[in-house]
Structure 1
Amino acid sequence: MEKKQFIKLMDEKLKLIRTEYGLTQDKMAAILGISKKTLIEIEKNRKSLGWTSSVALGSIFSDSTILHDAIGGNVSDIIIALAFKNIDVDYPKTWGGKVWWKTISEKKGYRIQQNMFSRHYRILDRENRRIYASFNMGETEAVMDEILKF
């Protein structure tokens, strides 16, 4: 998934999320910090949320069943993977991939996992801390190889 795909997904799910939470267009627009007119244009597929508002929607409504079903788990994982693409980051501890994750490989306590819905990859350390995330398996394997050298 790339940022453009994420934004498109969020554009498509905006009205469903608003309905899921029982919000009017006025209230949803206020929550997202956009005008009601802009919200209506997005819901009619004439405009887009863009990256910043898509991140806001995903973050504010991270408990949405609509988003969980569309993303395959926690939307913040996708946001982080996209935002920090090609940037080294110290990721926080995870639950270890008990739901929505398939372990691709495991070596010396490190695991490469792939999300079953979004298809992005991550590397977890022995304490289930995410130390890398990417949509590219080759890059993920290369990072894993570098980690295992030490």
Structure 2
Amino acid sequence: MNKQDIIEIVSDKIKLVRVEMGYTQDKMAEIIGLSKKTLVQIEKGRTRAGWTAVIAICALFRESYVIQSSFGGDPLEAVETVARAGADFKKEKTMGGKVWWKEVYSKYGFVLQQNMISQHYRILDEDNYRLYSTADKQDAVQRYHELVREAE
């Protein structure tokens, strides 16, 4: 998943999110900082939302079922992974990946998981804190093995 993929997903789902939340086009446009005309164009598929609008939608509507099911959980995790391109993260508590994640490797309390929807990877510690995220499998596996070697 890359930036363009996220833009397309959110642009394609924006009307569903608006309807799910019970907002008019006027109110939705106001909330996310767009003109109503621009929102209508996005909803009709004539244009795509900009990156800033996409981030706003993911942040403001992160509890939306439409958004969560489009990203396999917290949309901000996918956005942050793409935006930061594999950088280490400040430890962040997760739910441990019981719904949207499959385990790739697990050793010494470190778990490498892949999101079943967005396909990005993350490494959790034994307390389910996210240590690392990336869209690149090779980077994820390499970082996972580094952490395991340090723990040995």
The two structures have a TM-score, normalised by structure 2, of 0.93
1:44 deviates by 1.6
Letter in structure 2 aligned against 1:2: N
Letter in structure 2 aligned against 1:147: L
1:83 deviates by 1.8
1:74 deviates by 1.5
| Within-5 A mapping of 1:106-117 | 106-117=106-117
> Could you tell me which residue of structure 2 aligns to residue 9 of structure 1?
9
1:79 deviates by 1.4
Contact 2:120 2:134 in 1 (8 A): yes
Structure 1, gaps ≥5 residues long: none
Taking only aligned residues, the RMSD between alpha carbons, in angstroms, comes to: 1.1
1:116 deviates by 1.2
The two structures have a TM-score, normalised by structure 1, of 0.95
Taking the aligned partners of 1:92 and 1:23, their CA distance within structure 2 comes to: 31
- Greater strand share, structure number: 2
Taking the aligned partners of 1:81 and 1:112, their CA distance within structure 2 comes to: 15
1:32 deviates by 0.4
- Which structure has more relative contact order (CA 8 Å, sep 6+)? It is 2
1:104 deviates by 0.8
Taking the aligned partners of 1:147 and 1:36, their CA distance within structure 2 comes to: 48
SS at match of 1:91: strand
Q: Is 1:91 the equivalent of 2:88?
A: no
1:72 deviates by 1.6
Post-superposition CA distance 1:66-122 (Å, at most 9, x none):
112222211121112112213332131111112111111101110001111111110
Structure 2, gaps ≥5 residues long: none
1:123 deviates by 0.4
Post-superposition CA distance 1:50-73 (Å, at most 9, x none):
111001001111111111222221
Post-superposition CA distance 1:13-52 (Å, at most 9, x none):
0011111111111000000011111111111222221111
Runs of 4+ off more than 2 Å:
86-89
1:130 deviates by 0.5
> Could you tell me which residue of structure 2 aligns to residue 55 of structure 1?
55
Q: Per the alignment, do residues 141 and 99 of structure 1 end up closer, same or farther by CA in structure 2, a change over 3 Å counting?
A: same
* Identity across the alignment (%): 41
Q: Is 1:140 the equivalent of 2:140?
A: yes
Contact 2:86 2:132 in 1 (8 A): no
